[in-house]
Amino acid sequence: MSSTPEKPGDKSAQRKGRAKPVWAEGLRRMYDEVVEEQLPDDFVALLKKLDENGDRQ
Residue 37 has a pLDDT of: 96
Domain extents for the chain? 13-56
- 57 pLDDT band, cuts 50/70/90, is low
Local confidence band at 17 (pLDDT 50, 70, 90 cut-offs): confident
φ, ψ of residue 26 to 5 degrees: the values are -65, -40
**Are the CB atoms for 6 and 12 separated by under 8 Å?**
yes
Is residue 25's pLDDT more than 80?
A: yes
Contact 13, 6 (CB under 8 A): yes
